[in-house]
Amino acid sequence: SSADAPPTENRAFEADVARLLQLMVHSVYSERDVFLRELISNAADACEKLRYEAIASPGLLGDDPKARITIAIDAEAKALSVEDNGIGMGRDEMVEALGTIARSGTRAFVERLQGGEANAGAQLIGQFGIGFYSAFMVAERVEVISRRAGAVETWRWSSDGKGTFSIAPAEPVEAPARGTRVVLHLMEDAKSYLERHTVERVVREQSGHVPVPIAIVEKPGAEPAEIADGAALWAKPRTEVTAEEHKDFYRSVAGQFDEPALTVHYRAEGRHEYTVLLYVPSTRPFDLFEPDRKGRIKLYVKRVFISDDVEILPRYLRFVRGLVDSADIPLNVSREMIQESPVLGAIRNAVCGRVLSELEKLAEKEPKTYTKIWDAFGAVLKEGLYEDFGRRDTLMGLARFHSTSDSKGWRSLKDYVGALKPNQTAIYYITGDDQARLEASPHLEGFRARGIEVLLLTDQVDSFWVTAGAAFDGKPFKSITRGAADLSLIPVLDAKDDTKPEASPAIDAFVAFMKTTLGDAVADVKVSDRLTDSAVCLVASASGLDRQLERMLASAGRLPTASK
């Protein structure tokens, strides 16, 4: 505990942090301004945590109830500081928050930076949101002085970002009465951040809509001047928020550098009152497929931040960013109870429906923008075809596919059904992990000869949702690597190719010979109309597993041997 801690302790950063710092200092200068956004974002989080804890313990606010962030410039000392009067940190929290990285996926991020993607540094930083550590892009030494709300002791954390940090008690007079001050001792080439106009520009561009007021102190002893009012952007009428403001707020709430491809901003009234401000990004975050990655929608109640790990949208919409602010959930219940509350259940259902209907509108009115979203997130949206039976029809309408009719572009199922051949009763598909290999598959020959479109499904999730009784417009999905092809009723495009397999004694004898020779290695040998050029292809039985699903399960150790 803090009471037993040695007066000063020197410790090494966790290995991932040390590597990250080294890479940042050397490679990611192109977007140095990000450090200020990240520090302000941390300060705002600390203020929001305090507001939440103060619901149960109002005494924590003392005689200083109004949250604020203060940026102070000391040109003579070449120091810039960012201070908040939020929750603050004790010694152990400092070690945890400033010496380790809690988010999974860090290793992947560091590896991508090391793998020569340094020029993509800004984009990667944006995708990762490395927070506090970005301070070392501009500072040769960083000090953090903090006092936890309601505590007496004060602590100072200090590091030059070269592998170690020290932690020791701070002089009480130096520390904030409550909260945290981060002091950056700036490098020679970062002195522009000691100019008020530079700091104001960065704050306005990147943090103008943080829900805590921000003030600037131009030199020691000067009066603080407010540069952002902390007004909640989402509470403004939709017509009064500009695209530029949305872009700025999206970047601060999503920690990304791209622009939102779709903004969903509305106020629900009636049985439940709440405000929704959500963004669909235009690029894919690198950790989208991390198994423990959750959605990151913030939940506010009457503008008090409650949590960002309440699942508001289903997992297949985990790429959506933003917040929901409810007027109906009682403030004084625990987070666990909120998770179970029927009010939240109703909000969840309505918000999910609204996001999908906004995507439908976008697909209709701005197909190019929608295609960009599908390119980035289609593989995740398709998880809903498997998981969300109630909305499967809507998701089928949103789904886009590469096919033998258009292997580069995207086709909707509506397009597919509109191009069905006479007597065609199913939607045909083939699954695999490489599109080029699928296009070269002998299984396609009979379908090509008849001009029948086949969907080329290369995402892992495709092997699962198609097996779950999927259909569109009354047409079932049928794998061309499973069961009989049933192509005899559909005419071949070029009549001279239309040679039906003749039954003859020679062929019957050959089939019998193959059956005997292959024995138990196959279930059956049949003459088929699915091939035009190739001599033979392997298919699963109608009741067996699709070939790709069989391979996936075998590689995951779920099948004893490949089935026949």
pLDDT in tens, 306-340: 887 788 999 999 999 999 999 888 876 777 788 78
Query: At 234, is the pLDDT very low, low, confident or very high (cuts 50, 70, 90)?
Result: very high
Average pLDDT for the chain: 84
CA dist., res. 378 & res. 462, Å (int) = 11
d(CA 547, CA 552) in angstroms, rounded, equals 9
Dihedral of CA atoms 418, 422, 425, 427 in degrees, nearest 10, equals: -50
Q: Which of 206, 217, 150 is nearest to 183 (CA)?
A: 217
- CA pair distance 180, 101, nearest whole angstrom: 19
Q: Which band of pLDDT confidence, cut at 50, 70 and 90, is reported for residue 561?
A: very low
Task: Identify whether the C-beta of residue 348 lies closer than 8 Å to the C-beta of residue 340.
Answer: no
The token duo for 108 is 């992947």
How far apart, in whole angstroms, are the C-alpha atoms of residue 431 and residue 480?
9
Q: Which residue has the higher pLDDT, 24 or 275?
A: 275
Q: How far apart are CA 365 and CA 388, in angstroms?
A: 25
- Radius of gyration (C-alpha) of the chain in whole angstroms: 30
Angle subtended at Cα 450 by Cα 447 and Cα 454, rounded to the nearest 5 degrees: 35
Buried residues in 505-530 as b, exposed as e (16+ CB within 10 A): eeeeeeeeeeeeeeeeeeeebeeebb
Asked if the model's pLDDT at residue 4 lies above 60, the reply is: no
pLDDT digits (tens, 9 = 90+) for 108-152: 666 666 665 544 444 455 445 467 888 888 999 999 999 999 999
Q: Name which of 111-115, 273-277, 350-354 the model is least confident about.
A: 111-115
Structure tokens at 167: 């932690």
Task: Annotate 375-432 with DSSP letters as a single string.
Answer: HHHHHHHTHHHHH-GGGHHHHHHH-EEEESS-SSS-EEHHHHHHTPPTT--SEEEEE-
Sheet of strand 9-12: strand arrangement: 9-12, 164-169, 155-159, 139-147, 179-186, 79-84, 69-74, 214-217, 225-228
Residue for token pair 């290369």: 458
Residues 6+ apart with CB under 8 A from 334: none
pLDDT in tens, 121-133: 444 554 454 678 8
- How would residue 562 be classed by pLDDT, with cut points 50, 70 and 90? very low
Show the DSSP H helices in 100-216 as ranges: 106-114, 121-128, 196-207
